[in-house]
Amino acid sequence: MNILYDERLDGALATPDKGSVLADLQQALPDMTLLHRAEDLRPFECDGLSVYRVLPMLVAMPHTLEQVEILMRRCHALGVPVVTRGAGTGLSGGALPLEKGVLLVMSRFARILDVDPQARTARVQPGVRNLAISEAAAPHGLYYAPDPSSQIACSIGGNVAENAGGVHCLKYGLTVHNVLRLDVITIEGERMTLGADAFDAPGFDLLALFNGSEGMLGVITEITVKLLPQPQCAKVLMASFDDVGKAGKAVGDIIAAGIVPGGLEMMDKLAIRAAEDFVRAGYPVGAEAILLCELDGVESDVDDDCQAVRRVLEAAGATAIDQARDDAERARFWAGRKAAFPAVGRMSPDYYCMDGTIPRRELPRVLKGIADLSEQYGLAVANVFHAGDGNMHPLILFDANQPGELELAETVGGRILELCVEAGGSITGEHGVGREKINQMCSQFRPDELSVFHAVKAAFDESRLLNPGKNVPTLARCAEFGAMHVHNGELPHPELPRF
């Protein structure tokens, strides 16, 4: 089955025709940019998962909160689905539009509203780029810790929606650990504030619920993030290995030694060669795998940790250990890692980027499993991942112009995710489920668990108008996918949607 969601969902929503929706919104919002011609819609037909494309019915580009409120009220009244989009860098099809829906683009909300060095917080709009927050905080000796590889382009609203990670999230946490407050507009056009400027807020922790909700519960309009002091000292070790399994074991050994690096990243031979050709980072192209281990803090502590990590790496079988001589070399080491995705893109007409998470102890076994799948299906796989927290990003190389290769890449990707679940992990660590992994949700969760997800969705969006067809599969879809048991010819939980 193709990973795109079941198009029957769109038909079930009984959306009014494009002309009547356009006329209604133009009358209600005469000053808002509303795109409707095919040539204007084309740039918005996909997110970073670019192999799948859908032309939206309309694209709305508001510049005030009042416009967002009115838009949501009108779409709710008309029964028109809404998909929210930020910078469009997502990698799971979460911002993929609907043929019968409005794509709400929040890129014009791109102001940093306040940086408070005493409270160590920044208040920003959702369209602000991830890196721009750290740039604004730098004069105060502060920075924003989560740093996805796309941080130069990705927006903070999308980071919250996907609960994005990054190379330094092992020590400093994911987006959810670095957000204090969210302002949200519901599908009914009502404003809500979740969380608080303090470290805790009364009531249920709805703030955590919205982190990673993938645009299914509301539209994020403002974010208050935590800022951290820039480390006094940061040093990077690069360890080379002649075996991927040894590198994977070394990751667990470092954590077991009581050391929590600022970042702990792994790349295999294919990714090393791609990044080195692209960036000239100084990577050893003959190695089967490398580990990049960054240690930060007070200089004396960092020096001690570097020595301790070096001993662990030597015991794990590292063939060479290099330490960045200065900040410039340290930056080059990280530049190669952060450019790994585009670098691999130069090796193949297409690649399919997966995102699964496993326990660190399972790294050697899962890496071998990925290698076996690569050989079995005849598609090369480059491995680049946040090794410290077990968040893997296998890149499956293929050529969409060759008949059947896209479907083959989907199959390999699904098998890899199922391998992660079998190892006690998850089908996503930071890219989200979107449309890409919706089938594998059926493998990871039981029917009663999916029923809870549907109930949470209904509490915020009873009409299922916000990003429908994403993240949480219907039980009928799971039965069709073959990952859910059907009792006596009937699906469990008859109250849940069937289309």
CATH, residue 27: 3.30.43.10
222 in the same domain as 127: yes
- Report the alpha-carbon distance of residue 417 to residue 224 in Å, rounded: 33
213 in the same domain as 168: yes
> What CATH code is carried by the domain that includes residue 192?
3.30.465.10
Q: What is the pLDDT of residues 419-453, one digit of tens each?
A: 999 999 999 999 999 999 999 999 999 999 999 99
Residue 444 domain flag: no
96 in the same domain as 59: yes
Q: Give the Å distances, CA to CA, from 276 to 246, 279, 348, 456.
A: 22, 5, 16, 46
330 in the same domain as 222: no
- Report the alpha-carbon distance of residue 249 to residue 440 in Å, rounded: 27
- Report the alpha-carbon distance of residue 105 to residue 67 in Å, rounded: 12
Percent of the chain at pLDDT above 90? Answer: 88
Residue 435 domain flag: no
Domain boundary among the residues 372, 397, 422 is at 422
Residue 138 domain flag: yes
Residue 431 domain flag: no
If DSSP codes are grouped into helix, strand and coil, which group holds residue 163?
Answer: coil
Q: What is the pLDDT of residues 455-470, one digit of tens each?
A: 999 999 999 999 999 9
Structure confidence at residue 16 (pLDDT)? 86
Structure confidence at residue 201 (pLDDT)? 82
Q: Whole domain around residue 414: which residue ranges?
A: 348-422
Q: Confidence class of residue 479 from pLDDT cuts 50, 70 and 90?
A: confident
> What CATH code is carried by the domain that includes residue 353?
3.30.70.2740
Statement: residue 5 has pLDDT above 50: no
Statement: residue 487 has pLDDT above 60: no
* CB neighbour list of residue 189: distance below 8 Å, 6 or more residues apart: 69, 70, 71, 72, 73, 76
Q: Letter for the amino acid at 489?
A: G
Statement: residue 18 has pLDDT above 90: yes
* Overall size of the chain counted in residues: 499
Residue 94 domain flag: yes
151 in the same domain as 51: no
Domain boundary among the residues 210, 229, 248 is at 229
Question: Which two structure tokens, joined as six digits, stand for 301?
Answer: 């502590």
Quick one: which of 46, 155, 50 has its CA closest to 98? Answer: 46
Number of domains in the chain: 4
What's the rounded mean pLDDT across residues 57-68? 98
DSSP sequence for 192-213: EEEE-SSS--SS--HHHHHTT-
Residue 128 domain flag: yes
48 in the same domain as 23: yes
375 in the same domain as 278: no
